[in-house]
Amino acid sequence: MTIKLFYKNINLIINEFRNLGLYADGYDKKAVSFTVSYPDNSHIIETLYQYAKAQDAELSPVTAYHYMFPSFSYRWVEDPSEQKYETIFHVKMDLSSKEIQEIQNWLHEKADEYGYKIKKDKPFDKGCVFYQKGSKNLIHVGDKIKDDGESVVWTKAIFRDVFISHTEKIKSLADKIPGVFGGNKFENGGCIYCNGDKKPDEPCSMRIPYNFDGKQYNGCAYRSFEFNNFSLDIFKDIFDLFLIENKIK
């Protein structure tokens, strides 16, 4: 494999090559390019090249720069006809928990049904698969690491109208996953009036006034409403309300 010199600290790269058992033929500080080989196994370089080439076919330069996967995946060189969804989706799911896999496989089918596609130049957002239709985003689902290091399934949905139009659905969801609605504390997504910079009676487009269980509350769109540690069945209820709230048909 021939490598052209584009980096200022090329000596650091050469040293790392040598530490890994690679051999740089024709390298010196004035060289325009040089050849890298792996004497212990001559097929390694060609294999790595084909692997990188397969990724290039799926990832844009912007995506490749921002999203680095922590392990090699056979998905990049797998026959596309053997894959149900996009290659990058399968790579992501193979690294995800079984709970996320179950929800995301179901969500992908729903995304297809409603015409949403994975955004090629930004496939993931906050660790979630990023589905988009025009300028509209579909609900996000991913793993969230808690303070104790435990990973839980996480999603967020901004609700406003459904508190009035579908009160019973909200109540049913609240019974299944309590603690999301009600309360004005910051940790529960309540409005803190921008840390006191705004007054309670000052208008704010991000404030979410809503009535729940007979009481009036103020949420904040930056934090409300977060759901953690739920199953696919509960996510279906969240998704149903998301469709209603955003008038997706």
User: For all residues of the chain together, what is the average pLDDT?
Assistant: 87
Indicate whether 24 belongs to any domain: yes
Indicate whether 249 belongs to any domain: no
115, 118, 131, 137 from 134: Cα distances, Å: 10, 11, 10, 8
118, 125, 139 from 122: Cα distances, Å: 8, 7, 15
Phi/psi-derived region of residue 188, left when phi > 0, alpha when psi is between -120 and 50, beta in every other case:
alpha
Phi/psi-derived region of residue 103, left when phi > 0, alpha when psi is between -120 and 50, beta in every other case:
alpha
Specify the number of domains making up the chain.
1
Share of the chain above pLDDT 70, in %: 90
Q: CA nearest 161: which of 211, 235, 124, 222?
A: 211
- Provide DSSP, 28-46: -TT-SEEEEE-TT-THHHH
| Residue that the structure tokens 């090559």 belong to | 17
- Reply yes or no on whether the pLDDT at 185 is more than 60: no
**What radius of gyration do the chain's Cα atoms show?**
24
Structural domain range at position 58: 2-63
Indicate whether 223 belongs to any domain: no
- Provide DSSP, 55-81: HHHH--HHHHHH---SS--GGGGS-GG
Q: How far apart (Å, rounded) are the C-alpha atoms in residues 69 and 63? A: 11
Indicate whether 33 belongs to any domain: yes
Q: How far apart (Å, rounded) are the C-alpha atoms in residues 210 and 163? A: 7
Q: Which two tokens stand for residue 84?
A: 């149900």
Q: How does pLDDT run across 188-203, given as a tens digit for each residue?
A: 568 888 888 888 888 8
Indicate whether 58 belongs to any domain: yes
pLDDT number for residue 169: 97
Give the number of other Cβ atoms within 10 Å of residue 34's Cβ. Answer: 18
Indicate whether 245 belongs to any domain: no
Indicate whether 237 belongs to any domain: no
- Reply yes or no on whether the pLDDT at 4 is more than 70: no
pLDDT confidence tier of residue 11, bands split at 50, 70 and 90: confident
- Reply yes or no on whether the pLDDT at 225 is more than 60: yes
Indicate whether 40 belongs to any domain: yes
- Reply yes or no on whether the pLDDT at 114 is more than 90: yes
Q: What's the average model confidence in pLDDT over 168-173?
A: 96
Task: Report the amino acid identity of residue 88.
Answer: I
